[in-house]
Structure 1
């Protein structure tokens, strides 16, 4: 996935009230979330840029005083929500209440634990995230004028981020030092570049013909000046801070529980990313049990291909045999496209509603690729990492493609966003739901006939083991004292991931506590809901109606999903579109 905006756990949505008269409760709730959302947009906390609003002229304020003011605002909103009785709400607004309360709770908790003092991890960072702005569509002259204003605002924004990082450094609240090695490369790439060669100049290389040539030239000159005078010096100062101060003094320990107020902090991340109240110990046990089941499935595949050695030997065979690896980046991209089109040919049998939005398949930018995951998808795009081809197994590519493109992230997100009449906060991403659906999509590929060979089935199982092992590894690192070497060895022993992928993934888990837990627990919730519906509905069960019902919800906490499928069953398996 491309974005992460998770929500805290929420109680299951109650059954619909037997009596009408809910309009008052609905109106009160709508007033609360509408007001807060408008405030959130003013705070520049959400990406509301679209065909109407265009590119904003400012970067968000991130200084400590602003952060604490936001916390006070959200805690005030939670008190307002305490005054809204759920039994006074209509069915749709009860779902909105559950999603919204969880979302605001997560936002307040993140400020309470001062997450803003740690605006980076092994996977992403505030400075690199800025480059995504340059890859958005620019349509009008005002978009360009506003973007130049953003470029001129970079030093202020970077200075506030660095001040927060210094505060985190002073109290031992940083990503573990081992996960920061080499992550300054994207800063150095800008600090040492010519203005026109930076990602920030991309929008000015091709400008709309509707903008007169003279104005285009003026805007390009303004952009080059802003990049040269503001953006590049800000990156140079950030690079010096990272190399001289931040990385050398970053915390050497790995566990989130070793950070200030660590046990409560890690539990807050578990709640945020899984939308459950499970403990670290419970999740660890679930992971071990699921890994045992997947290992048994792996053994069955090994029998199908007549492999006589044990699992370690089979994994070594998969990691080293040239037949399983692309020779060129283009071959990898074309194979990904082939899998995506195989899905298209079978989609109507499994989904009643398809998204209008299409997606492109493009390589991960080269300056980020060495530290990036194998792929990532979202609305309009499926990023495929073509760096270090011997680590990008073709037998895993079908599972990766289903997860990141369709019916995974690049399919699920647009379906949700294309729903009419839904409040905009519902477009926020809840990891347990979104990643759970994407992982479910990998399993669905076996039903859809996507996997052509036993090796590709094993690739899917390896990906299942990868996500189940996260339950073990994440809790092992952050609550049970695991070392980085233990985590690396566990993934190497239980998945077919390459050594490079294992290293980048483990560093991601170390620096981003809790996020890795969302995938498998989310998939388990969807699988459980489907089995319950199949058992209850029998011949009335329609897989298209079930999938449409799950996707129509958009990102929701897992208890909300469970309640919606219970309603799906009560209504006789009727999908949301009839």
Structure 2
């Protein structure tokens, strides 16, 4: 049945083959649909059809967040469905390469460059069978279920659909474990070195005896008043039954598989390049996360140069505060002095909220603001032990309050700038408001652009007056050093034969991150090749483009206009951002 459905979806996407060339920059507004050329109409037909299929669930990946809001089942992640998706995306790529790109409007030439790379990456993920490794030390299909419970549910039918998804968890987990077995059989797995303790998030659910204590039950603790009381009680009973009868046993079975099969058989190597087709896999990971076609050696060299530059700035702050001792002794001081740490989770949350409100006081001078706002919430406890210090997106800034001695306050301004406003929360909200852009640009996320912007915002905080002490400025530099060190560590581990101990020592010796953060971050880089490269390479691009704009525009340079030009792109590959900002500079020079 699943195979027939996938074939039907594939046939629905069949379209006449339409030539492709590299897009130039574009600044003109898009033509209305009524006036569009035949080439523009053909391109729009391709992307609208594929996007609608993807949003309806056809292109769903291994996380529920990629399924439609009305889904009454978990994603189909079996090999047949994966290959059917690949056939669709390969078909779309063939159609795109058949387009006469020069006949497209300037705006659509840009859209084509963005959309083609998006589809290419989706296809390559399947082609390389990355679905056979559906977790890393940072994220997993089982922990992502807790985010499913955060979806807004307004009606009884919304809650019934959610219960249906809970009841489908055993089938979904079985498909995932079958995929993981296939990965183990060909040596494609998360390295054994980073698996110790990773079953904790599984056990947090597997060991539950009261289903109402599961985060998955949260939507039923306070149901909408529009649902009659009797129906509320019925929904609550059905949710408890689904969690107790389906979800908890599925987690228990997953734990047995993880401990008895996966951990013992996981590969003993670390490098991505050591896996089957590893060089091709790592090359694609670099392309997907950086949008650039740089080799590991080039990236490693860039990282070393950035580490040396930032180290000099860190040394200057140590001299400024009058610390007598070595760099290592200063890091020990920062990691151990109680003045730098919150005593309660609320203290950490309140401090982050105060920083974000101080940003609100000045941010309007630097960029046009979106209508949407964000909230600050603690990371769910079942995933907090292995999660990063914080993470942000449209609507929410998740702050990790687990293990407070590992969450230094001097890093908090940089973290908050990155994850909330003007970082991820603002960027995502603004992207969603760009109504003239196609949905595939408004509702997608490109790591090099998004993480590059987030890291740039940490630096922007200096101009905005957010860092109040030299220690907070050192925290900013330690975060920048952290991202520069990633370039060295990621390429060192995955291409140059670095050991885990070598990577840990490098991050420990160059940053003021706590030991807990050093460990969780290095394990993240080991198990998630390429992702860590996006931050610094993206930030370098934005900083370079701003410097060029300031130099060429002189007194007419407008910081707010520059930021708006960056943010109004949605989410784009770095080469496209380069083209668009070059066009912005040229246009402002004429003006």
> Shorter chain as normaliser: what TM range?
over 0.9
Distance 2:423 2:27 in 1: 34
Distance 1:222 1:334 in 2: 37
3-state DSSP class of the match of 2:588?
A: coil
Deviation at residue 368 of structure 1 after TM alignment: 1.2
Contact 1:59 1:150 in 2 (8 A): yes
Q: Which residue of 2 aligns with 1:405?
A: 420
3-state DSSP class of the match of 1:383?
A: strand
**Pair 1:462–1:49, CA change in 2 (3 A):** closer
Deviation at residue 17 of structure 1 after TM alignment: 11
Return the structure number with greater relative CO, CA threshold 8 A, min gap 6: 1
2:119 matches 1:104? yes
2:293 matches 1:277? yes
Q: Which residue of 2 aligns with 1:335?
A: 351
Deviation at residue 42 of structure 1 after TM alignment: 3.2
Q: Which residue of 2 aligns with 1:25?
A: 39
Distance 2:266 2:528 in 1: 15
Distance 1:49 1:503 in 2: 28
Contact 1:54 1:138 in 2 (8 A): no
Q: Which residue of 2 aligns with 1:173?
A: 188
Contact 1:545 1:574 in 2 (8 A): no
3-state DSSP class of the match of 1:123?
A: coil
3-state DSSP class of the match of 2:398?
A: strand
Deviation at residue 70 of structure 1 after TM alignment: 1.0
**Pair 1:30–1:562, CA change in 2 (3 A):** same
Distance 1:41 1:350 in 2: 34
Q: Which residue of 2 aligns with 1:118?
A: 133
Q: Which residue of 1 aligns with 2:302?
A: 286
Contact 2:27 2:583 in 1 (8 A): no
Distance 2:291 2:55 in 1: 25
Aligned residues: 562
Distance 1:135 1:16 in 2: 39
* Superposed structure 1 runs of 4+ greater than 6 Å apart: 47-50
Contact 1:273 1:515 in 2 (8 A): yes
Q: Which residue of 2 aligns with 1:452?
A: 468
Q: Which residue of 2 aligns with 1:161?
A: 176
Distance 1:224 1:453 in 2: 50
2:270 matches 1:254? yes
TM-score with structure 1 length normalisation? 0.94
Out of 423-432 and 167-176, give the one that drifted further. Answer: 423-432
Q: Which residue of 2 aligns with 1:378?
A: 393
Distance 1:402 1:469 in 2: 20
**Pair 1:386–1:573, CA change in 2 (3 A):** farther
Gaps of 5+ in 2: 1-19
Deviation at residue 91 of structure 1 after TM alignment: 2.5
Q: Which residue of 2 aligns with 1:64?
A: 79
Map 1:17-416 → 2, pairs under 5 A: 23-45=37-59, 54-193=69-208, 194-351=210-367, 353-416=368-431
Contact 1:545 1:573 in 2 (8 A): no
TM-score with structure 2 length normalisation? 0.92
3-state DSSP class of the match of 1:361?
A: strand
Deviation at residue 190 of structure 1 after TM alignment: 1.2
Q: Which residue of 2 aligns with 1:4?
A: none
Map 1:470-481 → 2, pairs under 5 A: 470-481=486-497
Deviation at residue 49 of structure 1 after TM alignment: 10
Contact 1:364 1:385 in 2 (8 A): yes
Contact 2:24 2:106 in 1 (8 A): no
Contact 1:254 1:477 in 2 (8 A): yes
Contact 1:339 1:401 in 2 (8 A): yes
Contact 1:22 1:88 in 2 (8 A): no
**Pair 1:157–1:357, CA change in 2 (3 A):** same
Gaps of 5+ in 1: 1-9
Distance 2:323 2:101 in 1: 57
3-state DSSP class of the match of 2:142?
A: helix
Distance 1:284 1:239 in 2: 37
Q: Which residue of 1 aligns with 2:540?
A: 524
Out of 229-238 and 101-110, give the one that drifted further. Answer: 229-238
**Pair 1:49–1:517, CA change in 2 (3 A):** closer
Out of 479-488 and 141-150, give the one that drifted further. Answer: 141-150
Deviation at residue 83 of structure 1 after TM alignment: 1.1
Deviation at residue 13 of structure 1 after TM alignment: 3.4
Deviation at residue 147 of structure 1 after TM alignment: 0.9
1:127-168 deviation line (CA, Å, top 9, x unaligned): 111221111111011101111111111111111111101100
Deviation at residue 304 of structure 1 after TM alignment: 0.9
Out of 183-192 and 154-163, give the one that drifted further. Answer: 183-192
Distance 2:91 2:328 in 1: 55
Deviation at residue 558 of structure 1 after TM alignment: 0.1
- Out of 24, 27, 31, the residue aligned to residue 14 of structure 1 is 24
Contact 1:56 1:143 in 2 (8 A): no
3-state DSSP class of the match of 1:377?
A: strand
1:142-197 deviation line (CA, Å, top 9, x unaligned): 10111111111111111111110110011111111122221111211111212211
Contact 2:190 2:527 in 1 (8 A): yes
- Out of 488, 499, 508, the residue aligned to residue 515 of structure 2 is 499
Q: Which residue of 1 aligns with 2:499?
A: 483
